[in-house]
Amino acid sequence: MTEDLETFRAETRAWLEANCPPEMRQPVRSDKDINWGGRNPVFQPGQKEWMDAMAGRGWTVPDWPQAYGGGGLSPAQTKILREEMRKLGCRNPLNSFGISMLGPALLKYGTEEQKREHLPRIARGEIRWCQGYSEPNAGSDLAGLATSAEDKGDHFLVNGQKVWTSYADKADWIFCLVRTDKSTKQGGISFLLFDMETPGVSTRPILLISGYSPFCETFFDDVKVPKGNLLGELNKGWDVAKYLLGHEREMISGMGNEGGNKSLHAIARDKVGLTEDGKLADPLLRAQMALFEVRTRAFGAMSERFMDELKAGRAHPAQPSMMKYYGTELNKTRNELMMAAGGSDLLEWESDASNGGAAARAWLRTKANSIEGGTSEIQLNIIAKRILQLPGA
């Protein structure tokens, strides 16, 4: 088995070296460098070529079954692929809520028809999804949602409003929590999939402190959704929602893993300078960065262990919340250190030297990390309940 994996590693490395375009081996500098795919994508040089090459092997979703557009790789092979991509500096070929959130839920709860309709298109980057969870009066208390789906025989009639719907104005489809029974709270929620071009769906971007508008308000006015677009059982959508949230938190926690360290070290070296013996000249910043490095490596080891346990079906139910909480804290710390190292130069908002204020905008964006996907306080409550087996765990 070991010899087989070493052969797979060598072949994977050779294929990546031959097929990953040079532009896709550069660090991500801004949102434009992230490929989300979809029906109306705007590709940067090398993005489509890289996405198509990876999708052709099923490697945009390497551990999904080949029948649904995946690579059919084992957990060990998937880990090797990711390791080799990191070594070569290969960018993720496709960022997608379809991959990181909806896909796992479809694999677990979807009908065969739903899997064959949606999963291959997600794997090829043809459809961009958004998430319809939070509402103006149902954020941390998500089960208090009020958006309704009335049974009209062959379809549901959806009315209501969602908020903080990430990239809703650019998404093609939405996976959406709706209330189908008002007599009970969690037991009256269903999980629907529908096209954002369906009559009655509208979006309005929300301008954030970073200057960007990745979040939207989303409105549904008499939206007709076919019954076949129900994922899972009627009024059992809360189970699907919780399963999907575990994957969302895993995705958000990944922001605390490697990916920004080189930029942080480079900025600190360039802005602060080095001593004669090659150490960072600012001793306080040096100590803070050393502590951050230790925590990042520990988080990386914990992430690897978690993924192994998750794939083996042995993950503790508190682990997604643990990863989400610590990952977001690390990501916030990394950006704080970057701003401390860069000083006032990085606070420039529009200059070419600051790349359009990329670092400052990214730093401000991290403030949302401990809110989105369930606040840090919610995560700590979940961890306490499940580790200590408190009531409601």
> Known catalytic residues?
248
**Residues near 3 by beta carbon (within 8 Å), at least 6 away in sequence:** none
Between the alpha carbon of residue 81 and those of residues 10, 67, 84, 104, 276, the distances in Å are: 10, 20, 5, 19, 39
CB 122 within 8 A of CB 103: yes
- State which H helix or E strand residue 359 sits in: helix 358-365
Between the alpha carbon of residue 364 and those of residues 52, 238, 374, the distances in Å are: 33, 32, 18
Residue 362: name the closest of 352, 351, 375, 349 by CA.
349
Residue 304: name the closest of 75, 110, 137, 105 by CA.
75
Cα 349 off chain centre by: 26
3-class secondary structure, 224: strand
Residue 365: name the closest of 327, 326, 344, 336 by CA.
336
Q: How do 215-226 and 155-162 pair as beta strands?
A: antiparallel
**Residues near 205 by beta carbon (within 8 Å), at least 6 away in sequence:** 169, 213, 215, 216
**Residues near 289 by beta carbon (within 8 Å), at least 6 away in sequence:** 264, 265, 268, 280, 337
Q: Rounded to an integer, what distance in angstroms lies between the CA atom of residue 375 and that of residue 110?
A: 28
**Residues near 64 by beta carbon (within 8 Å), at least 6 away in sequence:** 58, 70, 71, 72, 103, 107, 119, 123
